């Protein structure tokens, strides 16, 4: 028993020195400063008929090029300092002109995603998104004025719905500003089912997000 004070006294006296020598760890806790995030995207979309020149010169629909618009809205919750999960809504609208007819396609996607974040740097944060969604596509043919479609065209070019599942992977980089309140994401989205707006496996993507804590 006489040995116990001899062991405890030096340990207690050393605790203030140990506390002063410890470095503050901003991310030692499993949760980051902001647990909630809302991100959105809205823009005209590229496809195989629209290049960069057409995009910025705003070539009209009457010139034969399609009208493409894409929107994305998502909510994220930080379950870990490096992991964010949440639901996601996506919308895509396209009007494409063919000979004597117009094809109007509207697509809605409802799903969820998970984001893996590298918190090594303050301003630049690499990430990788993995998502799955259920896609509902409605397509409709509109005949131009003074044109009477044939019976074969009416039979084969009917309006209708398509339903399918989709999955994607999207690596990129987040740029954090205003004390991490705002993030600007730039990345590349890969879909093996070619369900991107450009009907290809790869498409450039971006988002703007607002990060906050609920009271």
Torsion of CA 195, 197, 201, 206, to 10 degrees: -120
What pLDDT does residue 55 have? 46
The per-residue pLDDT string of the chain (215 residues; one tens digit each, 9 = 90 and over) reads 555 455 444 444 444 444 444 344 344 444 457 899 999 999 877 655 444 444 444 444 455 556 788 999 999 999 999 999 999 999 998 887 766 677 788 999 999 999 999 988 889 999 999 999 999 989 887 777 666 666 666 666 677 888 889 999 999 999 999 988 999 999 999 988 766 665 677 888 899 999 999 75
Q: Is residue 109 part of a domain?
A: yes
CA–CA separation, 63 vs 69, rounded Å?
A: 17
CA–CA separation, 47 vs 43, rounded Å?
A: 13
What domain count does the chain have?
A: 1
In this structure, what token pair is assigned to residue 49? 């008929």
* SS (HEC) of 113-181: EEEEECCCCCCEEEEEEEEEEEEEEEEEEEECCCCCCCHHHHHHCCCEEEEEEEEEEEEEEEEEECCCC
Range of the domain at 96: 39-212
What pLDDT does residue 22 have? 39
Q: Which residues contact 52 (CB under 8 A, 6 or more apart)?
A: 46
Q: Is residue 31 part of a domain?
A: no
CATH number at residue 117: 2.40.160.20
Q: Is residue 13 part of a domain?
A: no
């Amino acid at each position: 028993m006489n040995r116990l004070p001899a062991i405890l006294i030096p340990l207690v006296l050393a605790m203030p020195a140990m506390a002063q020598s410890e470095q503050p760890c901003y991310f030692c806790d499993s949760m980051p400063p902001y647990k909630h995030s809302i991100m959105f995207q809205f823009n005209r979309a590229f496809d195989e008929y629209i290049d960069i020149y057409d995009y910025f010169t705003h070539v009209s629909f009457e010139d034969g090029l399609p009208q493409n618009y894409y929107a994305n809205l998502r909510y994220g919750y930080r379950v870990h300092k490096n992991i964010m999960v949440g639901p996601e809504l996506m919308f895509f609208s396209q009007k494409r002109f063919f000979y004597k007819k117009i094809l109007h396609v509207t697509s809605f996607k409802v799903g969820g995603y998970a984001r893996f974040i590298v918190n090594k740097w303050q301003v630049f944060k690499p990430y990788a998104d993995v998502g799955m969604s259920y896609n509902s596509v409605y397509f409709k043919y509109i005949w131009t004025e003074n044109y009477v479609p044939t019976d074969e065209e009416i039979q084969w070019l009917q309006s209708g719905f398509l339903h399918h599942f989709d999955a994607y992977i999207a690596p990129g980089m987040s740029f954090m500003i205003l004390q991490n309140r705002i993030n600007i994401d730039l990345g590349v989205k890969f879909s093996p089912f070619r369900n991107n707006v450009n009907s290809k496996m790869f498409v450039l993507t971006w988002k703007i997000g607002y990060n906050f804590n609920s009271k």
